[in-house]
A = this chain, B = another copy of it.
Amino acid sequence: MYSGMHNGGAPVLIVGSVALDSIKTPLGQVTDALGGAAVYSSVAASFFTPAMVVGVVGEDFPMAHIDFLASRGINTHGIQVRPGKSFRWGGSYEFDLNQAHTLFTELNVFADFKPTIPPAYRSAEYVFLANIDPELQLEVLDQVEKPKLVACDTMNFWIENKQDSLIEVLKRVDVAFMNDAEARQLIGTSSLIKAAGEIRQFGPKTVIIKKGENGAMMFCDSICFMAPSYPLEEVVDPTGAGDSFAGGFIGYIAHTNDISERNIRKAIIYGSTIASFNVEGFSLDRLKALTQRDISDRYNEFKQFVFFEPM
């Protein structure tokens, strides 16, 4: 029984990959399982607010996956179905679960993806540009009207190969997500604090650095916020952790329609909460069974994990 807290929230537009993932971790494996950054982030957002997804799949994409997204209140009208096969990614994780090893990448229909934002989506107040080619992220920004908040994610491949376009994207977003290695690589410094400061110079008012099991750091005007990650004894499959973090984040922001720093801190904890559940199962398995009660219990646990008394 799905009982979301999303009624009344502003919808969030999410653009990114929709994929079939084949994943092997020390605890098992799956083949052609539902995946992709837009899927993880929209399902994460759907716990808080209605999401609208733009992506592309091939004719082989199982209808059941689309049905699942729809059952989460996600508008899937923006998922184009193109002749050919769906995007597939194969990866494995070994002892160090922070490090994905790509086994194969079959772009298929994703190779020619041009994001077309349906007219009904263009007035979205909240937009998440999941990790895709920054040139496509720019095309999305050209199509949306006046969003209140735009967040983006990226990856090392674009930092290495399309850095100029990526910086154009950064100039036009409010919140930039990046993992620690990416932030260091983009700025060319070992200091995360320096890296985040220089990324903010490009444009985004808020920079959120993802550090996997070491939590996340948020940088804004004068202060930074540090969130731990939830201490899990066992991670089943880290795939989608960053995407579900960002999706939970923007879903909560849209739900509350509040972009103040204090609310951004809360959104980071909600994002961490969703991400921590996500890695407890393969693909979207854990999120499929997640309840609002699970979310609020874990949010409260986070509060206890960081508590210490004043001087």
Residues of A within 8 A of B (CB): 26, 95-97, 190-194, 197, 211, 213-215, 217, 223-228, 231-235, 262, 265-266, 268-269, 296, 299-300, 302-311
CB pair B226 A305 closer than 8 Å? yes
CB-CB < 8 A to A213: which residues of B? 192
Q: What is the minimal beta-carbon distance from A143 to any residue of chain B, in angstroms?
A: 34
A228 to B308, CA, bound (A): 12
Give 13 pairs: A residue, B residue, CB < 8 Å, sorted on A.
A191-B232, A191-B235, A194-B234, A211-B214, A215-B215, A215-B228, A224-B231, A224-B305, A227-B308, A265-B308, A265-B309, A296-B311, A302-B308
Identify A305's interface contact among B190, B225, B232, B307, CB under 8 A. B225
CB-CB < 8 A to A225: which residues of B? 305-308
Identify A262's interface contact among B194, B269, B296, B309, CB under 8 A. B309
Q: In the A-B complex, list the 4 residue pairs whose CB atoms are closest, starting with the nearest.
A: A226-B228, A214-B214, A265-B308, A306-B306
CB pair A95 B190 closer than 8 Å? yes
Identify A303's interface contact among B97, B214, B310, CB under 8 A. B310
Q: What is the minimal beta-carbon distance from A258 to any residue of chain B, in angstroms?
A: 11
Identify A231's interface contact among B97, B215, B217, B305, CB under 8 A. B217
A217 to B230, CA, bound (A): 11
CB-CB < 8 A to A215: which residues of B? 214-215, 226, 228
CB pair B265 A231 closer than 8 Å? no
CB pair B309 A191 closer than 8 Å? no
Which among A191, A223, A231, A234 has the greatest number of chain B C-beta atoms within 10 A? A231
CB-CB < 8 A to A96: which residues of B? 190
A142 to B233, CA, bound (A): 36
Q: What is the minimal beta-carbon distance from A131 to any residue of chain B, in angstroms?
A: 23
CB pair B191 A233 closer than 8 Å? yes
CB pair A223 B305 closer than 8 Å? yes
A215 to B192, CA, bound (A): 14
Q: What is the minimal beta-carbon distance from A110 to any residue of chain B, in angstroms?
A: 32
A266 to B309, CA, bound (A): 7
With A214-B214, A231-B193 already in contact, the answer to whether A226 and B308 are too (CB < 8 A) is no
CB pair B190 A304 closer than 8 Å? no
A214 to B95, CA, bound (A): 20
Q: What is the minimal beta-carbon distance from A113 to any residue of chain B, in angstroms?
A: 35
A268 to B305, CA, bound (A): 13
A45 to B96, CA, bound (A): 35
Q: Tell me the nearest residue of chain B to A304, going by C-beta.
A: B223
CB pair B211 A269 closer than 8 Å? no
A307 to B311, CA, bound (A): 15
With A215-B214, A226-B228, A233-B193 already in contact, the answer to whether A269 and B97 are too (CB < 8 A) is no
Q: Tell me the nearest residue of chain B to A228, going by C-beta.
A: B226
CB pair B192 A308 closer than 8 Å? no
CB pair A190 B97 closer than 8 Å? yes
CB pair A266 B214 closer than 8 Å? no
Q: Tell me the nearest residue of chain B to A233, going by C-beta.
A: B193
